[in-house]
Amino acid sequence: MPLTVQKIRSNPAGDYGMRVQRAAGVDLTKDRTIEDHPFVVKLRSHGLIDQEDLKALGRILNRKVTVKKGQDIIVQGYEYKTLDIVESGFGLRFTLLHQGGRQILNAILPGDIVGFPASFFNRSIFSVMAATPMSLHRVSFDAFTELCKQRTNIALALIWFAAREASIYAHHLVDAGRRSPLERVAHFLLETHFRLKTVGCASEDSFELPFSQESIGDALGLSAPHVNRMLSELRHQGLIGTQNHTVNILERAALQILAEFEPSYLERTSFSRNPIR
């Protein structure tokens, strides 16, 4: 059955997503429709798709899978010809190193696409693991390719996704090369909050951050104890507050100045806001 006004069944990933949405002020008494999917919310916020595109997306988002925390979704070096569109939960995209270490390249959040760019290569160049329970809508690469041929707006949206991913990676290179450890952690928090808020999974000044300090360190080139000290320093300066896995941004302007965070690389696009006809 296509995703239209289908109720979500209870599962660990869905329950986790509900907690995040509840924290963001989402009305959970309503049935979820295709318009509520974080992937669609992200696209519509940029005016990239119209109602016919939504109907076409609803027809292919008909296979739902739940992934357990710690489960591999993509394994580096293996063929992967599927796109998993994240409805809820958090993942990590990383590359494995010869001596058993890993470098986390990016956090995967609701509304993101797992299998992009892996499906475009003969073998996956990265691995992806679920950092929390995840709920995914699984689409074959061929089916999505056919959809792009029929719906130009969705094809353009995929190009926009690629440009956005490239800009995120560029900022992460700046993190590793030029930002201090404190600036890296501050930038990571602001970027994650902005990405979650865009798809309705964070409130104005707080968000859920389920990643371990070890994972954050692997993403930022820091040790887990170093991440812990930087978080403590941000709390000491009164810039953030933390409770369990919830981060509260207390002084946004000062935090943005510290991190040199300017979110245009996450929100701006050269596309017209009027959908292509």
Predicted confidence at residue 41, as pLDDT, reads: 86
Please answer whether residues 5 and 33 qualify as being in contact, where contact means their C-beta atoms are separated by less than 8 angstroms: yes
Helix, strand and coil content of the chain, in percent to the nearest 5, comes to: 45, 20, 35
- Average pLDDT in the 134-149 region? 92
Please answer whether residues 151 and 52 qualify as being in contact, where contact means their C-beta atoms are separated by less than 8 angstroms: yes
The Cα–Cα gap between 214 and 260 comes to 24
For residue 129, count other CB atoms closer than 10 A to its CB: 21
Q: How far apart are the first and last CA of the chain?
A: 27
Residue 54 predicted with pLDDT over 60: yes
Predicted confidence at residue 264, as pLDDT, reads: 87
DSSP assignment letter at 120? G
- Average pLDDT in the 154-174 region? 86
Strand partners, 181: none
Residue 10 predicted with pLDDT over 50: no
pLDDT-derived band at 272 (thresholds 50, 70, 90) equals low
Using a pLDDT cut of 90, give the percent of the chain over it. 50
Residue 59 predicted with pLDDT over 50: yes
Spell out a b/e string for 203-237, using b for 16 or more CB atoms within 10 Å of the CB, else e. beebbbbbbebebbbbbbbbeeebbeebbeebeee
The Cα–Cα gap between 86 and 137 comes to 7
Q: Please state, rounded to an integer, the average pLDDT across all residues of the chain.
A: 84
Can you say how many angstroms the Cα of residue 227 is from the centroid of all Cα atoms in its chain?
21
Predicted confidence at residue 46, as pLDDT, reads: 66
Predicted confidence at residue 8, as pLDDT, reads: 33
3-state secondary structure of 81: coil
pLDDT per position as a tens digit, 100-128: 788 999 999 999 999 887 788 888 989 99
Predicted confidence at residue 11, as pLDDT, reads: 44
The Cα–Cα gap between 157 and 115 comes to 15
pLDDT per position as a tens digit, 15-47: 545 555 444 334 444 446 778 889 888 887 766
* 12-168 homologous superfamily: Jelly Rolls (2.60.120.10)
Q: Nearest to residue 64, comparing CAs of 32, 95, 96, 99? A: 32
Predicted confidence at residue 121, as pLDDT, reads: 87
* 276 against 87, higher pLDDT: 87
The Cα–Cα gap between 245 and 202 comes to 13
Residue 268 predicted with pLDDT over 80: no
pLDDT per position as a tens digit, 228-264: 999 999 999 999 999 999 999 999 999 999 999 999 8
* 42 against 215, higher pLDDT: 215
Predicted confidence at residue 13, as pLDDT, reads: 47
Residue 178 predicted with pLDDT over 80: yes
* 158 against 212, higher pLDDT: 212
Predicted confidence at residue 254, as pLDDT, reads: 97
Q: Which fold has domain 177-266?
A: Arc Repressor Mutant, subunit A (1.10.10)
So where are the chain's domains?
12-168, 177-266
